[in-house]
Amino acid sequence: MDNKHKEKYKKIKSERRELKRTDKRSVTGDEVIFIFEKILEGWKTIKIFNTIIQTNPNSLIDKKKVEAISTGNCKVYQSELSEEKYSYYLSLREKVYEFHKLI
């Protein structure tokens, strides 16, 4: 396998992995940003979950996912968000990590 094919294979593999993980997560990038913002404001996870469900009844999110995401443990890919929102997401994620180090 030469270099050209290897690079093409890696690109296809990463795209497939990204698609699989975003489908498995079943939470949009905007919902992840919302959860991060509310955690930093001091909201409890149940309040965040109820708010998301009330504003978007079609959301596939559940309470366990909100709890997992609230720790900062959620990867949003650059292709899901605009460049501006993605950089905002990265900064929020760092703040959430720092927030949980203090607790």
What is the C-alpha to C-alpha distance for residues 65 and 4, in angstroms, rounded to an integer?
Answer: 39
Rounded to a whole number of angstroms, the CA Rg of the chain reads: 16
Is it the case that residue 7 has pLDDT exceeding 70?
A: yes
- pLDDT band for position 47 (50/70/90)? very high
- pLDDT band for position 35 (50/70/90)? very high
Predicted structure pTM score: 0.83
DSSP-assigned letter for residue 96: H
Q: Token digits for 61?
A: 């999110």
Output phi, psi for 76, to 5 deg.
Answer: -110, 130
Helix (H) or strand (E) holding 74: none
Q: What is the mean pLDDT of the chain?
A: 89
